[in-house]
Amino acid sequence: MAIRVACIALILAGPALAQEGDAPGWLSETILSPNGNIATTATPQDITVMPIGAVQLDAVGLLTPVQTGLPADLWAQSSSATLSNLFRAQPYEGLPAIQLMTAMLALAEVNPPLDATPESTLFLARLDLLLERGAIDPARALMERAGPTTPQVFRRWFDVSLLAGQPDRACAAMRANPDIAPSFPARIFCLARGGDWSAAALTLGTGEALGFIPVEEGDLIARFLDPELFEGEPPLPPETAPTPLYYEMRAAIGERQGAATLPLAFSQSDLAPTAGWRAQLDAAERLGRSGAITPDQWQMIYTSRVPSASGGVWDRVDALQGFDVAMLARDPEAVARLLPVAWSAMQEARLEVPFAEVYAGRLMRLPLTDEAAALARRVALLSENYERIAQLNVPQSDEERFLFAIARGLPPETVPRGAVPRMVANAFAGVDLPERYQRIVQEERIGEALLRAALVLSSGDGDMDDMGDALQLLRHLGLESTARRAALQLMILERA
């Protein structure tokens, strides 16, 4: 009887939480929203009311202004809607320096926009940028700093906890939060995780009878609750767009679905040892490109075992491992021979920057000569020590002289042929505010200006005038390191 009452209460609680229009489509329907589609008044809402002492989510961040170097009034006069749209428009892959900057903006602790509301649309957009890139650890830390108590935030936190391999923690938080009404699948999942299998089975039957659980989802839940009943049955067909809850239940019954074709956040679960090395490699490459894992994490997975096949990722692993052994042995001849092979493999996978971060320092300490030394310097310019490399080495060509000038923030004396070098040279000729950004900066919409510049630079193959102005804006606003690294990446990675 108690379970029936609980089920009826769930039904009366209201319709499923409406999917926010711009939220990631892969989020689970884990909770119900009381009166979610019912208006409480016909009067236009002119005044925003918040409880005294309530956390204003748009102000929550992990990085202080001292850590980021950004002003506390970064959003100032910009509207929440405009900023949210700009965050959601950022690509999940792009120029690494710009990826790093937009992630910093998403994690920045600054004053909320003047028109911030309790719905916290900007906070959700910042979260979703991280989730779409597969950066679930900082996203979870941001939600836990805020407190995942509102339905929209809890929904994301629950799914991230599942993908991070912490389903019991997610269920415990759901049980402890009286304001969160779980949907039928989430309730069944958590009842089963808590050992109450009979209540879970009864809830499944009630949900199916009332039409709250589709047939396909019911089949999966039934197997999750009692896999022995389905011994000898063929596995369920792959789901093209699973939610994290669906994905976790499939994994629990031994029908783990590969994440290579799923949104990036799912790739985090493929980093687990139970996923198999090939799945780990695919996940490490995807997450390495998006900046969701550190270069050391990527390199550790790449070198953890000996490849037993060839072609594709296996050839890249073989090339990297051969080079890594030569580096460990500090063998200049072997490094000189294997560096071009490893570099070509990294270019194929678009993992040049993680490669540079791992190996640049040691490369520059080896006595390399001629072409190997030139390639080593080129690789090192993609690392965080780019400026030191330019200060301690003598350029050996006009192109290298140009790159060293950019790395030091100086206007280059000679400019190689090509549209990208000309654009970069113009951007480093001065730090004046470009005309196209003057109004937006004067109106104290600095964060908005940075997000617009990020969109221009992310792909690395946009209009040259637009990209030049975006680089100049970064320099004018004091993001000199971001501007230099972006310019060096535009030159060396040849994304245009």
Residue 262 clears pLDDT 50, i.e. is over it: yes
Q: Residues, the chain, total?
A: 496
Contact 87, 129 (CB under 8 A): yes
User: What are the domain boundaries of the chain?
Assistant: 294-384
Q: What is the mean pLDDT of residues 20-29?
A: 81
Query: In a 10 Å sphere around its CB, with 0-12 CB exposed, 13-18 middle and 19+ buried, how is residue 398 labelled?
Result: middle
Which whole-number Å values give the CA distances from 196 to 30, 132, 188, 281, in the listed order?
19, 34, 9, 37
CA dihedral of 64, 65, 66, 71, whole degrees rounded to 10: 180
Q: What is the mean pLDDT of residues 403-414?
A: 96
pLDDT for 18 beyond 70:
no
pLDDT band at residue 42 using 50, 70 and 90 as cut-offs:
very low
Average pLDDT over residues 295-315: 95
pLDDT of residue 163: 94
pLDDT value for 76 = 86
Encoding tokens for residue 54?
């309530």
What does the alpha-carbon distance between residue 268 and residue 286 come to, in Å, rounded to a whole number? Answer: 10
pLDDT of residue 229: 87
> How does residue 20 score in pLDDT terms, banded at 50, 70 and 90?
low
- pTM above the 0.75 mark? yes
The pLDDT score that the predictor gives to residue 383 is 98
pLDDT of residue 496: 57
Question: Is it the case that residue 251 has pLDDT exceeding 60?
Answer: yes
Name the phi and psi angles at 457, rounded to 5.
-90, -20
Task: List C-alpha distances in Å: 192 to 50, 171, 184, 221, 318.
Answer: 37, 10, 12, 10, 44
- Enumerate residues 6+ apart whose C-beta is below 8 A from 374: 396, 397, 400
The tokens for 408 are 């030091």
SS3 content of the chain, % helix, strand, coil (to 5): 60, 0, 40
Mean pLDDT value across residues 333-338: 98
pLDDT-based confidence at residue 21 (cuts at 50, 70, 90): low
pLDDT in tens, 140-182: 999 999 998 888 999 999 999 999 999 999 999 988 887 788 8
Average pLDDT, rounded, for the chain: 89
Going by the DSSP 8-state scheme, the letter that residue 181 receives in this structure is: E
Query: Could you please report the per-residue DSSP string of 348-405?
Result: HHT-HHHHHHHHHHHHTTS---HHHHHHHHHHHTTSTTHHHHHHHS---SHHHHHHHH
Which class for 49: exposed (0-12), middle (13-18), buried (19 or more C-beta within 10 A)?
exposed
Q: Measured between alpha carbons, how far is residue 401 from residues 138, 347, 412, 457 in Å?
A: 38, 23, 8, 24
**Cα 420–Cα 448–Cα 429 angle in degrees, nearest 5:** 35
Enter the tokens of residue 378.
């080129």
pLDDT tier at 48, thresholds 50, 70, 90: very low
pLDDT of residue 35: 35
Structure tokens at 250: 């499939």
Paired tokens of 329: 């042995």
Res 460 pLDDT > 60: yes
Q: Which residues are within 8 A (CB) of 310 and not within 5 positions of it... i.e. 6 or more apart?
A: 318
Q: What is the 3-state secondary structure (H, E, C) of 315-328?
A: HHHHHHHHHHHHHH
Rounded average pLDDT over 312-337 = 97
Residues of the chain with pLDDT > 70: what percent? 91
The confidence score (pLDDT) of residue 385 equals: 97
Q: Is the pLDDT of residue 109 over 50?
A: yes
